[in-house]
Amino acid sequence: MFIFLVTGIITTAFLLSIYCFHAYLKEGGHKLVWWKWVLSILWMFATYVVFAFIGTSIGEGYGGAALRGGAFFMIFVVAGGVLFYRFVLPRGAK
């Protein structure tokens, strides 16, 4: 039962982040093409995978692995987010 609750919370957070991203773009008058949406969803999914790795490692009792692995993978997620923000998101309203 607990796993269904956690899965539901994670799925809700993932869908809420996609909705908030859509609302942010709509409010700014921006429009993204399909491949930019795919990139943004993949980046959000990668972020959640890193947090799942950290949570799983802590749950299994490997705090050092959570710290080192989480920091290592988070570097790539943050770098990907910066590149995504810099090159994919639109600059001005249309």
Q: What percent of the chain has pLDDT over 70?
A: 97
Q: Distance between CA atoms of 70 and 16, rounded to whole angstroms?
A: 23
Which tokens in the block code for residue 56? 């799983």
- Contacting residues for 46 by C-beta, under 8 A, at least 6 apart: 76, 77, 80
Q: What is the reported pLDDT for 93?
A: 47
Give the whole-angstrom CA distance, residue 79 versus residue 46: 12
Backbone φ and ψ for 53, nearest 5 degrees, come out as: -60, -45
pTM (whole model) above 0.75: no
pLDDT tens-digit map of 37-53: 888 888 888 988 898 88
DSSP classification of residue 29:
T
Q: CA-CA distance, 47 to 20, in Å (whole number)? A: 16
pLDDT of residue 55: 85
Rounded average pLDDT over 79-94: 78
| In the chain, where the domains are located | 2-87
